[in-house]
Amino acid sequence: GVMEKLGLGPEVLLKENPGLIYARLTGFGQMGKYAKSAGHDINYLALSGVLSKLGRKDENPYAPVNLLADFAGGGVMCAMGIVIALYERARSGRGQIIDASMVEGVAYLSSFLWKSDNLGLWSRPRGENLLDSGAPFYETYRTSDGKFMAVGALEPQFYKQLIKGLGLDSDEFPTQMSISDWPEMKKKFASIFAQKTQAEWCSIFDSTDACVTPVLSLDDVASHQHNKERSSFIKNDQGEISPRPAPLLSRTPAVPSCKRDPFIGEHTEEILLEYGFTKQEIAKLYSDKAIEFNKPKANL
């Protein structure tokens, strides 16, 4: 209802421009019991049902930062809705309103949970299943230098290489899908991973299909050989590292800027002047706290 209060609701603007695509991104959506309620990523994740599946055995459900609902179920799904609407407009010439709810976005993004339920993937309590840290071959393990390795050896042929890399004899070890043995197998894997550094484990597993990779920190990710070869991360003129735009398009790849991100309010006055506001009008907006200024200090 915020835009309606400003007199800029979709009905008003679509009357002015019937081809307009008007995206409304909210936590709970434009209607329903919680539509006007405050919330954050963890609340949207909870209402979607997805949060109930996240977390380790005998622990509370765990929200992974605010990536799932805010950015994936919210931002990415809303952007996809805009692209779909643009595609449809090319045929009809008409715009439309996009009701992007983060609850529904993250639920739809997680359709796999519902569609795979009858396969028995989630038949055990949280944290005891194949993909939620229950399996010893789909888990993270601490190394002797306090770092971690990620293991995702789901298929038998990959699991066989994992066992070999760990120096174990598969004939003397429980079978991969012996669920009752998983807790003890996990303890065994943990004790072995703790005997070598992350770099040492990389030297063992990098040339294999054991699905074992280092858990890289944000500080280390850009220097990893694979990421360097793909230029997956870029550095701006301040030396700050960030991911390169993805996915990579063959004919029209994004050209990332190497300049630092602008400060909030850094270009406010400049843009308003371009749009015909007078300095007096801009000063009034600033005194009314409607806009913000942030001029970088001169390096003299």
Residues labelled as active-site residues: 40, 70
Q: Rounded CA gap, 106 and 122, in Å?
A: 18
Which amino acid is located at 196 in the chain? K
Residue 39 tokens read as 């919330």
Closest CA to 21 of 77, 86, 76: 86
Residue 211: left (phi > 0), alpha (psi -120 to 50), or beta? Answer: left
**Which element (helix H / strand E) includes 214?**
strand 212-214
Phi, psi (rounded to 5 degrees) for 241 = -100, 140
**Which element (helix H / strand E) includes 152?**
strand 148-152
CA distances from 93 to 68, 83, 111 (A): 33, 14, 32
Residue 29 tokens read as 């959506």
